Amino acid sequence: MRREDLSADDCGIAQTLGVVGDWWSWLVVREIAGGTTRFDGVQRSLGISRRALTERLDSLVSDGVLERRPYSERPVRHDYVLTRRGEGLLPVLVAMQEYGDRYLLGDGTLTATAAPDSAEAARAHALLGRELPPIELPAYDGRSVALRPAVCWRVLYLFPGAFAPDAQGYPPGWGDLPGAAGCTLESTTYARRHGQFRAAGAEVVGVSTQRPDQQAAFAAHAGLPFDLLSDQDLHLAAALRLPTFRASGVDRFKRQSLLVDPGGVIRHIQMPVTDPAGSVEEMLEVVRSRRGRPPATGPAAGDRAVTPRIRPA
């Protein structure tokens, strides 16, 4: 089958490949999903020629995956942002990354954690000094919450999933999956230490890919005094290329935690987390050690500064 014949094919896979059928296009979508929205930033990140990048961007705009938003009239300059159709590719990006992590960079074992010397851990720690994209996620009570802190430091602890006893239960074999157990312990430890985090100048936010109603049931059961946010559409997972695994048909975060300064820049990372309760104590000490310290300079504003907020559908 020739590429030009794909538009007439009744297979959804073939149709998708007709839009993003080469590896440069996928990598362009990956970069833009992560907040690098300007031509020079994408070109510098990928090392792609300017001509090739222009061709991919024009094609993705033509196919409705991206849209141009002007930020300069003289000379004319645009941010490239994902459309609703483009955001539909985010779970595909996450699935591709998870496949590569498990089968190409790993030994094929399904696990909810990662080895300290793994590619997943290295990728997570490479986020140090990176600015969070201005993403908003739904809270369990229906509010939309920005991931970037407003005035203080913020701990984002990402966990596979936690469930109230009478709500939808854990997937089959959850307790046998390395790294999966411990979400309730981690959350309740953060709850017990919440006042100390606040006194040290930081707020705590939990994030999982569970539905908001599942998070609401667990938060009520555990008496959590902080927000739980749902990344069920995988906006955050795709933007930061965070390590995930798939269990019972759901993509889930591997356990990891980020400390974000008031400017939205990641300043400390825990990955892998093998001791859920101990990681909370460690994070509290890190927050205390940074109290009163001015944030360091973040990444270059020219690549990411005006990325529009991604709101939940």
The per-residue pLDDT for range 260-307, each reduced to its tens digit, is: 999 999 999 999 999 999 999 999 999 999 876 655 554 443 344 333
pLDDT by residue (tens digit) across 64-117? 999 999 998 889 899 999 999 999 999 999 999 999 999 999 999 999 999 999
Lowest model confidence (mean pLDDT) among 113-122, 184-193, 288-297: 288-297
Q: Any idea where the domains of the chain sit in the sequence?
A: 3-87, 111-304
For residue 206, pLDDT over 50 is answered with: yes
Please give the sequence-ordered ranges of beta strands (E in DSSP) within the chain, or none if there are none: 66-72, 77-82, 136-138, 144-146, 153-158, 202-208, 227-230, 244-247, 250-253, 256-260, 266-270
| Separation between Cα atoms, residue 41 and residue 38, nearest integer Å | 5
Q: What tokens appear for 209 in the block?
A: 């890919």
Q: Phi-psi bin for 241: left (phi > 0), alpha (psi -120 to 50), beta?
A: left
Residue pair 181/174 in contact (Cβ under 8 Å)? The answer is yes
pLDDT at 294: 54
247: Cα within 13 Å, side-chain hemisphere:
26
Instruction: Report the CATH fold assignment for 111-304.
Output: Glutaredoxin (3.40.30)
Assess contact for 225 and 187: CB atoms under 8 A: no
Mean pLDDT of 182-205: 97
Name the average pLDDT for the chain. 90
For 3-87, CATH gives: 1.10.10.10
pLDDT at 307: 35
- Which pLDDT band, with edges at 50, 70 and 90, does 10 fall under? confident
Token look-up 């993509």 returns 251
